[in-house]
Amino acid sequence: LALPARSAEFREEVDVLAVLPANNSYLFSIARVKPAVEYAQRRLRAEPGPYAGFTFNVRYENSGCGNEALFSVVDRSCGTKPDLILGPVCEYAAAQVVRLASHWDIPVVSAGALAAGFSDKHREYSHLTRVAPSYLKMAETFSKLFQRFGWKDALFVFDDDKEERNCYFALEGVHSILDAQDYKIDVLDVHSREMDAEEVIRHVYDSEVIIMCAGADIIRDIMLAAHRQKLTNGSNIFFNIELFNSSSYGNGSWRRGDKYDAEAKQAYAALNTVTLLRSVKAEFENFSMEVKKSTQKVGIYNHHGGENVNMFVEGFHDALLLYALALHEVMKNGSSKKDGAQITHRMWNRTFEGIAGQVSIDANGDRNGDFSVMAMTDQEAGTFQVVMNYFGVNETIQMLPGFNRERFTLKGRHHMSFQENPS
Amino acid sequence: LALPARSAEFREEVDVLAVLPANNSYLFSIARVKPAVEYAQRRLRAEPGPYAGFTFNVRYENSGCGNEALFSVVDRSCGTKPDLILGPVCEYAAAQVVRLASHWDIPVVSAGALAAGFSDKHREYSHLTRVAPSYLKMAETFSKLFQRFGWKDALFVFDDDKEERNCYFALEGVHSILDAQDYKIDVLDVHSREMDAEEVIRHVYDSEVIIMCAGADIIRDIMLAAHRQKLTNGSNIFFNIELFNSSSYGNGSWRRGDKYDAEAKQAYAALNTVTLLRSVKAEFENFSMEVKKSTQKVGIYNHHGGENVNMFVEGFHDALLLYALALHEVMKNGSSKKDGAQITHRMWNRTFEGIAGQVSIDANGDRNGDFSVMAMTDQEAGTFQVVMNYFGVNETIQMLPGFNRERFTLKGRHHMSFQENPS
């Protein structure tokens, strides 16, 4: 009687360099991402089948959020170069690392590098695969909404910190898509000046749709000022972008415990939040628990109801799966882990089962994105619900029970000529 | 009887990595700069005295004008890191290399990296010494002229190629200085649109001083259009920036052999060219001849009266001298060539004798610059001469015999309120 041996078509040791911040203030810090990557390593090892022979040796290096990332990669790669780089997430860190990795023929898989510039894979970013939806993917949501509801122009209000520049890059993506479709766009950076809600409001009059990306306090000040000027009655449509419910992008809550709470609750009835669509499947619960246990062991607790698992954490888990899929195919094809270009291209234009659901990577190596629009559905309680979903793979919008057409219809604008475009 | 032995206080081998373009279309290509560096190597070896014991082993690597520079440095530095990096010149190439070198504690001396951003030596560019005057130094010339002649506003017309961006960076420097002094500045990039001289002229009406950086044909078209609109009679002051008399910045000549030559000659009577002040001393002739011989050996001939020796070639010669001075002091101090930070700081805030004259490095590690303003002094022949010099070290302007106060005095402007500021 022969027990079935663990089948392993190929045996291969893969050296992985994960380049992420050591600082836990980042949602994608080493301590947060590591448990997810380890979960994926265990899974790949334990499952009998094509990946059982792969061993991933993962080394973690501090990327900071800037130049340090490149220094880490260079200083650690002189002896032997890694076979795969995970991260960096921050744009300025990623740009430098991806360039060098592409030059070295090493695949880079990141749940970050979300800026539009990374979409050009023909040159310096040839080896980059993005397992989280980029800002251009998010921009498709706005493009679809503009088409659907016949809006014609927008004002972008954003807080450009000139360091990591998340809000700048987020709106750059939206700008790039809407501008190409000939929508008129004004932009207003509220960072360089003393933030002045009254001044923002003067600009609001000239545009139909206001798309904001800024910290929670700035958003609240603007919504309060808009409400006082009676601009929250349908003469304008307000959005804020809040992908991760983190301080990097703002925080949708109107509540502060100050004397303006009641007024803010009314104002926020006109605010729509664009966020990542989060889906959950049975297996996810187990993953989430393990990540939580591991991060708590190193002293990271998410107060304020924050989640342990976010798009970055999921993404880096899925990154290892995707790489294993591609490497297996490349080896079956007679090539090796050293053919970074081929492995990279095998990761593109395919759909696979990630930890939280299906992950679809487009032909350009960028993940298709699903996004939700949240709106206040209970004006008494001031609570928000998802009212629409946008599915990137087939570019469709789904209306949910809380959806109210009125809310997205412009009313009482001078010179307004409503026009329903084909959607 | 003892012959005097060649005295050498210290013996040291210095590994130098010169990172410059292989492509000879650059004024600072390897083939052009190498003879100058070799001249300096021979000189340092031959002269008895403090540097006789230094041996410089110089390796040349292709920098291209972009990412390639970093790749060259990384790929060549894994085994042993160089003690000194010469170059890169192009801004985007230099940014990456200087960051990494600063991280590695390796001094970088360049006759390029002229953009304003490199002036911040407190962070990522800590180990950069610039032996050619940067764009900010050039900008001082304009600042002095504005003060002296009481001009109040400017229009910048430039051709931003979005690749090397010489004209963009040149005017960025001027912008940064004039803007800080509260002059009103308009900018017009003539690259992104079909170049339309008429459109440029519409902008010219609103500004007193027009500062241009663009190719020779664009400058000529604009000057012709300005002349036809009678804007060359003193209602505006026109400058073009032409630091190296190279195609990167334009070329002051009005002559094309077409039917507009006569008109262009009249128009150019109102054009002033800002360029580097070139000084010549006796020893320079020998250096220049040797460089010429060497470059011709590899097939580089400068037609059109171009010179063999330019600021870059001189600069990299002087770079080796300056480094030797600093290294000698550091070693006397008991330290070694491995203390890149100390060597770097020893190169700063000092004056030494370069191949073409005195070189003064300011306390921030940037060379003080001398610039000339050229103007047409013979309207019959249409020939240009230097009419003013600006000396960076003591921030003074020198008027030469060809200088004519009239030429720099605004006349016949509406709303003009001439005001002589203290200079």
Ranges assigned E (strand) in A283-363: 350-354, 357-361
> What gap in Å lies between CA A130 and CA A367, rounded to an integer?
6
Residue B312 in tokens: 């870059």
Residues from chain B that touch A67, judged by Cβ atoms under 8 A, are 99, 103, 124
pLDDT at A423 over 50: no
* Among B71, B78, B103, beta carbon nearest to A103: B71
Q: How far is CA A350 from CA A146, A322, A343, in A?
A: 29, 9, 13
C-alpha separations of B115 from A334, B97, B366 in Å: 49, 15, 11
- Section B261-288 average pLDDT: 88
Q: Which of A65-79, A165-179, A278-292, B39-53 has the lowest mean pLDDT?
A: A278-292
Which tens digits make up the pLDDT trace of A8-21?
A: 778 999 999 999 99
| DSSP structural state of residue A256 | -
Q: How far is CA B375 from the centre of its chain?
A: 20
Q: Which residues of A touch B78 (CB under 8 A)?
A: 78
Tokens read off for A229: 């000027």
Which residue among A67, A78, A100 sits closest to B124, beta carbon to beta carbon? Answer: A67
Chain B residue nearest residue A80, CA to CA: B78
Mutate to test the interface with B, among A61, A63, A71 (most CBs of B within 10 A): A71
Yes or no: say if B103 and B83 are a contact pair by the CB < 8 Å rule. no
As for the ipTM of the complex, it is 0.80
Q: What is the DSSP string of B229-273?
A: TT-TTTTSEEEEE-TTSSTTT-------SSTTHHHHHHHHTTEEE
Nearest to B71 among A67, A71, A100 (CB): A100
pLDDT at A192 over 70: no
In the DSSP assignment, the letter for residue A390 is: E
Instruction: Report helix angle A197-204 to A216-228, nearest 10.
Output: 60
What confidence tens digit (pLDDT) does each residue in B221-232 have?
A: 999 999 999 999
Residue A387 structure tokens: 């009212």
Distance between terminal CA atoms of chain A? Answer: 64
Residue A99 with chain B: CB contacts under 8 Å:
67, 70
Residues of A in contact with B192 (CB under 8 A): none
CA distance B413 to B410: 7
Exposure string for B251-263, b = 16+ CB within 10 A, e = fewer: bbebeeeeebeee
Per-residue pLDDT for A305 more than 60?
A: no
Q: What is the pTM of this model?
A: 0.86
Identity of residue B104: W
Work out the pLDDT band at B192, boundaries 50, 70, 90: low
Instruction: Note whether B100 contacts A74, CB cutoff 8 Å.
Output: yes
Looking at residue B296, its pLDDT comes to 86
Q: How many angstroms separate the first and last alpha carbons of chain B? A: 64
Q: Report CB contact under 8 Å: B100, A70.
A: yes
| pLDDT (0 to 100) of residue B414 | 54
pLDDT-derived band at B300, boundaries 50, 70, 90:
confident
| Span A408-417, average pLDDT | 70
Residue B305 C-alpha from the chain's centroid: 19
What's the one-letter identity of residue B245? N
Q: According to the model, what pLDDT value does residue A349 have?
A: 97
Best B68, B73, B74, B77 residue to mutate vs chain A (most A CBs within 10 Å): B74
For the beta carbon of residue B182, count every other beta carbon within 10 angstroms. Answer: 8
pLDDT at A130 over 50: yes
Q: How far is A77 from chain B (nearest CA, A)?
A: 9
Q: From CA B252, how far away is CA B216, in angstroms rounded?
A: 7
* Per-residue pLDDT tens over the stretch B86-140: 999 999 999 999 999 999 999 999 999 999 999 999 999 999 999 999 999 999 9
Mean pLDDT along residues B351-376: 94
Taking an 8 Å cut-off on Cβ atoms, the answer to whether A71 and B103 are in contact is yes
Residue A367: DSSP 8-state: B
Query: Nearest chain A Cα to B77, which residue?
Result: A78
B333: amino acid identity, one letter: N
* Residues of chain A with a CB closer than 8 angstroms to some CB in chain B: 67, 70-71, 74, 78, 96, 99-100, 103, 124
pLDDT of residue A252: 55
Strand boundaries in B88-208, DSSP class E:
108-110, 128-130, 153-158, 184-189
Chain A, chain B: beta-carbon pairs less than 8 Å apart: 19
Give the model's pLDDT for residue B417.
Answer: 38
CA distance A104 to chain B (A): 9
Between B78 and A131, residue with greater pLDDT? A131
Query: Which candidate from A71, A78, A124 shows the least CB-CB separation from B67?
Result: A124
Q: Which residues of A touch B96 (CB under 8 A)?
A: 96
